[in-house]
Amino acid sequence: MHLLDGHRNMKIWAIGGGKGGVGKSLVTANLSICLALMGYRVVAIDLDLGGANLHTTLGVPIPDKTLSDYLTKKAKTLDELLTQTPIENLSIISGAQDDIGIANLKQMQKHKILSKLTELEADYILLDLGAGTTYNTLDFFISADQGILVALPEPTSIENTYRFLKSVYHRKLAMAEDLLEIGPMIDQIMNAKISQNSTPADLVNKIIESNPQMGHKLQNEILKLNPKLIINQVRTQADIDIGFSMKIISKKYFGINLDYTGYLNYDATVWQSVKKRRPLLMEFPNSALVNNFDQIVHKLLNISR
């Protein structure tokens, strides 16, 4: 299930991460603004189902129509949910405000949202995903052209990011039809107590030895996972360097190419902008964060063109 088979000019970026409160909505909002200011048509979609707050970081009141209306068929198309933000070229589709049950989307509803995204008039669609590793979150992350992980330079956030990566890895392999016959082996790999001597990357090599054809299919699926990493709230060089360590560990442990795309400086003004319900890039154009976001967006664009 890949999103954009019929609409290859559009790119979809999904912003995720293992833990709540790491700044996913902040990152989604400001990447969206950067792209819009560059002249791209952008739609930011709040898929933090049950805890939607992207509208706040974009300085928009709670929209009248949200994803709930689409799923309950009160709105017939995603177009009807679009709300213009104060920034030219940038619209938002708000997450559900009124139905906690929406956090547990059925497979058909999820597929419906994914398949209809291509009908939106946009160059870039940014998905602000919820915290945790529900199948909803993992499937939106995997289905996007580009998955972007946000982490804080602190142990719990880093652990949760690895947990998220492990879940993405497992879900991606479980969804691959070519790998159905080795499904039980994949489950065994992912559920095993992983020691220094038996990482998922080592076990893939063992499958290649015993069944080269399957092993190489498995390896190809893993190589398709090429998530990006942003470290938020950086205060020191040691915080910046965490991203490079995570890149090395992800390659060694999972065989995943985790691309460290950049970092965001800690800046107390961020919280002022959230309180004022004003987009950070608009409220504090001279903040170091503006430069951070600019560099990250340019790196993402070079990669995704």
Section 33-61 average pLDDT:
84
Residue 59 φ/ψ region, left for φ over 0, alpha for ψ in the -120 to 50 degree band, beta for the rest: left
Beta strands in the chain (DSSP E): 11-16, 42-47, 83-84, 90-93, 124-129, 146-151, 228-234, 259-265
CA distance 185 to 176: 14
Lowest model confidence (mean pLDDT) among 20-24, 117-121, 141-145, 194-198: 194-198
Report the alpha-carbon distance of residue 81 to residue 66 in Å, rounded: 6
On the question of pLDDT at 269 being above 60, the answer is: yes
DSSP string computed for 28-84: HHHHHHHHHHTT--EEEEEE-TTS--HHHHTT-PPPSSBHHHHHTTSSSSGGGG-EE
Task: Give the pair of three-digit tokens for residue 234.
Answer: 């950086």
CB 30 within 8 A of CB 248: no
Question: What pLDDT does 214 receive?
Answer: 83
The domain segmentation of the chain, as residue ranges, is 11-154+228-245+260-304
Q: What is the pLDDT of residue 240?
A: 97
Answer yes or no: are the C-beta atoms of 61 and 182 closer than 8 Å.
no
- The beta strand positions in 130-258, using DSSP E, are 146-151, 228-234
Res 301: pLDDT? 93
pLDDT for 166-218, tens place per residue? 889 888 888 777 777 777 777 777 776 655 567 788 878 888 888 888 888 88
Least confident of 14-18, 24-28, 92-96: 92-96
Fold of 11-154+228-245+260-304: Rossmann fold (3.40.50)
Q: Which pairs from 284-291 meet CB under 8 Å and 24+ separation?
A: 289/30, 289/264, 289/265
> Would you call 21 exposed, middle or buried from its count of C-beta atoms within 10 A (0-12, 13-18, 19+)?
exposed
Between the two ends of the chain, the Cα-to-Cα distance in Å is: 21
pLDDT, the chain, mean: 83
